[in-house]
């Protein structure tokens, strides 16, 4: 058992990481569980702490495009355009990796998912250590991702030494992942940069969101981001006892407000994304059997929100 500390000491976080320990770090999307990406032994402990299967590759975080060049081979033109438009920010691009990135990071793939996070503490930490950080979301495998330091503490307390507290995440859903498939830029995971934003830069792209068999990674497994309680989709006409409701804009009149959460009363999809995971956690902590979740409009970040809700309900 480790004594887990929540703090804002970047130098301490850097020291722990450089010494081979794990540190939970804030990013604008969700909190990550980080290790130095070139330290295969430290990266292995990420999988152990998360109880994550080794076939699920990790995302590597860099502080600028020059560092991305150091760890990858041959960035295609479309990827450079996307980096220019959306980095630092909630975008991950899958690129051919250099050998210094160990196989454990990429699950043996010869590509690596790379992103430049925009959270100021994450960037400062990355600059300080001057090495890339491998970091999946800092939650037990399959559970809802953490968007505050306290969320991380609630689940990983005793398993990691330090949680760097950067406040609540401003985006609230994971990065959008884009890879080249058959020569075509292809969105593999819906996230913090919308399809519309990507298509505004590249024109039409392919979208290949895996749901069941043959996932490129379990972030794409059908059942993921799941609370412990049963999640059902929709807005029912009647609610059974011990049922909660995750609403988009408006409370249901059929249930007490205490067992409901509203994602955005103004119907703002960015605000809804920001409150999604915290709301699911809050409902999961109540004495309920079932959570009903209402789908949101299928546009902008709404597509990513609906994707997470569908996976949460697929248990």
Q: Which residues bind ligand TXA (CB under 6 A)?
A: 27, 29-30, 32, 56-59, 90, 92, 94, 106, 109, 111-113, 115, 117, 135-137, 174-175, 177, 179, 188-189, 216-220
Q: Work out what residue 166 binds among ligand TXA, Mg ion, none; the CB cut-off runs from 5 to 8 Å by kind.
A: none
Minimum gap (Å) between residue 43 Cβ and ligand TXA: 12
Segment holding 104, helix H or strand E: helix 103-106
Assess 27 for contact with Mg ion (CB under 5 A).
no
Asked if omega into 168 is within 30° of 0 (cis), the reply is no
Residue 313 CB, nearest approach to ligand TXA (Å): 19
Nearest residue (CB) to ligand TXA, 135 versus 288: 135
Q: Specify the DSSP element, H or E, that contains 273.
A: helix 269-284
**Which CB sits closer to ligand TXA, 94 or 149?**
94
Closer residue to ligand TXA in complex, CB, 110/289: 110
Structure token digits, residue 1: 């058992």
Complex with ligand TXA: residue 221 or 288, whichever CB lies closer: 221
Q: 16 or 262, CB closer to ligand TXA? A: 16
Task: Choose among 126, 158, 153: nearest CA to 18.
Answer: 126
163-193 residues labelled b (16+ CB within 10 A) or e (exposed): bbbbeebbbbbbbbbbbbeeeebbbbbbbbb
Task: From the list ligand TXA, Mg ion, none, pick the one residue 276 interacts with, judged by a Cβ distance below 5 to 8 Å according to partner type.
Answer: none
Q: Which residues of 194-216 are buried (b: 16+ CB within 10 A; e: fewer)?
A: bbebbeeebeebeeebbeeeebb
279 makes contact with Mg ion (CB under 5 A): no
- 137 lies in the binding site for Mg ion (CB under 5 A): yes
For ligand TXA, the closer CB: 182 or 238: 182
Closest approach of Cβ 219 to Mg ion, in Å?
A: 5
Question: Around 100, how many Cα atoms within 13 Å sit in the side-chain half-sphere?
Answer: 15
Give yes or no for residue 29 binding Mg ion (CB under 5 A).
Answer: no
DSSP-based three-state secondary structure for 29: coil
Phi and psi, residue 57, nearest 5°: -70, 155
Shortest distance in whole angstroms from residue 224 CB to Mg ion: 7
Which of Mg ion, ligand TXA, none sits in contact with 59, Cβ below 5 to 8 A by type? ligand TXA
Contact 195, 54 (CB under 8 A): no
Residue 172's binding partner among ligand TXA, Mg ion, none (Cβ under 5 to 8 angstroms by kind) is none
Contact residues: Mg ion, CB under 5 A? 137
């Amino acid at each position: 058992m480790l004594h887990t500390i929540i703090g804002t000491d970047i130098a301490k976080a850097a020291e722990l990481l450089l010494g081979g320990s794990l540190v939970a770090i804030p990013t604008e999307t969700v909190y990550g569980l980080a290790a130095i990406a070139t330290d295969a032994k430290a990266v292995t402990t990420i999988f152990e702490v998360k109880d994550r299967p080794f076939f699920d590759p990790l995302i590597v975080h860099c502080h600028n495009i020059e560092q991305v060049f150091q760890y990858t081979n041959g960035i295609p033109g479309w990827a450079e355009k996307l980096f220019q438009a959306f980095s630092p920010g909630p975008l991950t691009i899958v690129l051919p990796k250099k050998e210094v990135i160990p196989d454990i990071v990429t699950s043996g793939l010869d590509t690596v998912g790379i992103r430049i996070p925009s959270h100021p503490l994450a960037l400062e930490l990355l600059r300080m250590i001057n090495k890339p950080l491998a970091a999946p979301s800092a939650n037990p495998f399959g559970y809802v991702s953490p968007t505050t330091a306290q969320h991380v503490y609630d689940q990983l307390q005793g398993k990691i030494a330090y949680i760097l507290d950067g406040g609540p995440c401003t985006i609230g859903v994971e990065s959008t992942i884009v890879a080249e498939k058959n020569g075509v830029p292809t969105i593999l995971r819906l996230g913090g940069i919308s399809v519309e934003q990507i298509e505004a830069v590249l024109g039409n792209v392919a979208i290949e969101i895996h749901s069941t068999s043959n996932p490129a990674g379990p972030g794409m497994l059908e059942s993921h981001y799941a609370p412990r309680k049963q999640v059902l989709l929709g807005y029912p006409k009647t609610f059974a006892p011990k049922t909660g409701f995750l609403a988009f804009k408006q409370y249901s009149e059929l249930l007490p407000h205490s067992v409901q959460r509203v994602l955005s009363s103004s119907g703002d999809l960015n605000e809804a994304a920001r409150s999604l995971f915290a709301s699911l956690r809050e409902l999961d902590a109540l004495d309920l059997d079932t959570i009903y979740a209402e789908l949101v409009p299928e546009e902008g970040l709404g597509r990513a929100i609906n994707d997470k809700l569908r996976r949460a309900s697929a248990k």
